[in-house]
Amino acid sequence: MILSAIVAVSDNLAIGVDNDLPWHMPADLKYFKDTTRGYHVLMGRKSFDSIGRPLPGRTNIILTRQKDFYHSGVTTVHNISDGINYAREKGVDKLFVLGGANVYDQTKELWDELHITRIKTQVDNATAFFPELDYSKWSLESEDIHKSDEKNPHDYTFCKYVRP
């Protein structure tokens, strides 16, 4: 099984402000939806709360320390290993890690792929950050550069990295 992370990140590694995205980038939301649709996804409970519902077209695995957490339409696990093992037991070929910051940090050494949207902006009031990575351990497989437009206020680049 391929373990893949997907994230949108600013120049200063911001990924969130008060449990919400720091920008509105419809192109990135479409990329996220198209890339993860049909797969199992693993996310922390706070990330799930910020979305407010299970992501349609995906098997949602929610990681939480809350032993009594329940939400219909999701599978709840209490540690990273259980989330990964759940996907393996289901025989899936790929599991996407969706965040948040702590989940990215705890799983970064396990990823086989990284889908990262680089948003050309600084987020001075960020409250959640993507962990620093050693990109010398990764190969850039694809890069798709875009300029801001009437719907997307920042320049952005879709990058896909794989471990060689």
Residue with tokens 């999701």: 74
- Segments making up each domain of the chain, as ranges: 2-162
* DSSP-based three-state secondary structure for 146: strand
Residue with tokens 């070929």: 93
The distance of Cα 68 from the centroid of its chain, to the nearest Å, equals: 25
Per-residue pLDDT of the chain (164 residues; tens, 9 = 90+): 999 999 999 999 999 999 999 999 999 999 999 999 999 999 999 999 999 999 999 999 999 999 999 999 999 999 999 999 999 999 999 999 999 999 999 999 999 999 999 999 999 999 999 999 999 999 999 999 999 999 999 999 999 999 99
Contact 75, 59 (CB under 8 A): yes
Q: Kindly indicate whether the domain formed by 2-162 is annotated with CATH number 3.40.430.10.
A: yes
